[in-house]
Amino acid sequence: MESTEKDVVILAVESSCDETAAAVVKNGREVLSNIISSQIELHTQYGGVVPEIASRKHIEKINQVMEEALSEAHMTLDEMDAIAVTYGPGLVGALLVGVAAAKAVAYAAGKPLIGVHHIEGHISANYIENKELKPPFLCLVVSGGHTHLVRVEDYGVYKIVGRTRDDAAGEAFDKVARAIGLGYPGGPKIEKVSREGNADAIVFPRAKIAENPYDFSFSGVKSAVLNFINGCKMKDIPVVQADVAASFQKAVTDVLIEHAMMAVKEFQIDKFAIAGGVASNNTLRTGMQEACKKAGVEFYYPSPVFCTDNAAMIGTAAYYEYLAGRRDGWDLNAVPNLKLGER
Ligand code: KG4
Ligand code: ZN
């Protein structure tokens, strides 16, 4: 490890999906600025993220967002110790915009470049507000593209315990929201409508995977919701949107909590964290909090702004990569299906 006496300030860039984001992070845990330009409204009219539109919008916004991140932090590019960027996984065209911008800025300013794995970023979001949190801990990463149960053994050292076999948890929220007429993005809309509904009204399936009890599958619950709606239509029974939403949300969060607690027990880890867009869901947060309390495990979660895509989490992850001496060359490329723990 390099000396940590001097402050390390990193400009981080994130553009893997539909947020163009840049942040300045000091010593890994102090966020000096966190600028997020969301494209959600633009994609809502299409019912989901349109990759080509996302790339174009990133190009329009990226320079402005980086400049804002520096000016809000009251710092100049010259004062940065490194430039970090998400290089995968994600939409290839979207990733390329951030990677190209970060390379250009790093090259022009003569700064080191650090490519960051998007999931490592999500996990690292937990360090921002929990200054005492250190590995080892278990982390459930639940987003629109990923559902991973991960053992964080050290900074930058990850073991995947379980993952989804089909849809990601957030993807299931998005698809079910569309099916019951709520639109995109599904997660926050399902959560809101669920408050008016009965979570025990309909029992949707909780999938179990024989080969690995920690793996997840959410395509079954999604199909069950679709079948339920079709059945109601055929029998001319009105669909109670709030009950369907609440029952679906419960089916998904029950499985996430059950797998998490199984892992906590087996691996005897006394710290558990959640991360990713779905981690901002209150039913999941409170359910996980209760389960952790019962199991005598410390529970960690980021504020919603650090759950969904942002660049502060990339700056935090990059800090530990920086300390470990990892640097990337000018040949850094976007890797849309980058695996966690592979560099
Ligand atoms: O982490 P994120 O911003 O992007 C990815 O890396 O995928 O996560 C976005 C996902 C979407 O699927 C969205 O529906 C879901 O997170 N999400 C939620 C909530 N807020 C966002 N899901 C459930 N409840 C929420 N409150
Ligand atoms: Zn994400």
| Amino acid making up residue 295 | A
Amino acid 39: pLDDT: 83
Ligand 1 centre to CA of 8 (Å) is: 30
Q: Is 28 in the pocket of ligand 1 (CB under 6 A)?
A: no
Amino acid 4: pLDDT: 52
Q: Which ligand is nearest to the CA of 120?
A: 2
Residue indicated by tokens 């490329």: 333
| H helix and E strand count, the chain | 11, 10
Indicate the burial class of 343 (C-beta count within 10 angstroms; 0-12, 13-18, 19 or more).
exposed
Closest protein CA for atom 10 of ligand 1? 144
**Mean pLDDT (the chain, rounded):** 95
Q: Which ligand is nearest to the CA of 116?
A: 2
Q: Is 170 in the pocket of ligand 1 (CB under 6 A)?
A: yes
Q: State percent of the chain over pLDDT 70.
A: 98
Q: Is 280 in the pocket of ligand 1 (CB under 6 A)?
A: yes
Q: Is 135 in the pocket of ligand 1 (CB under 6 A)?
A: no
Give the pair of three-digit tokens for residue 76.
């100049």
CA pair distance 294, 48, nearest whole angstrom: 38
Q: Which atom of ligand 1 is nearest to the CA of 169?
A: 12
| Amino acid making up residue 106 | A
Amino acid 185: pLDDT: 85
Q: Is 90 in the pocket of ligand 1 (CB under 6 A)?
A: no
Select from 55, 9, 54, 18 the least CA-distant residue to 36: 18
Domain assignments of the chain as residue spans, ordered by start: 9-125+307-323, 135-302
The answer, yes or no, to whether the previous bond of 213 is cis (omega within 30 of 0) is no
Ligand 2 is an ion; its neighbours by CB within 5 Å are: 143, 309
Compute how many other C-beta atoms are within 10 angstroms of the C-beta atom of residue 267: 13
Q: What is the CATH number of domain 9-125+307-323?
A: 3.30.420.40
Q: Is 143 in the pocket of ligand 1 (CB under 6 A)?
A: yes
Stated pTM of the model: 0.95
Closest protein CA for atom 13 of ligand 1? 187
Structural contact between residues 34 and 311, judged by C-beta atoms closer than 8 angstroms: yes
Q: How confident is the model at residue 343 (pLDDT cuts 50, 70, 90)?
A: low
Q: What is the CATH number of domain 135-302?
A: 3.30.420.40
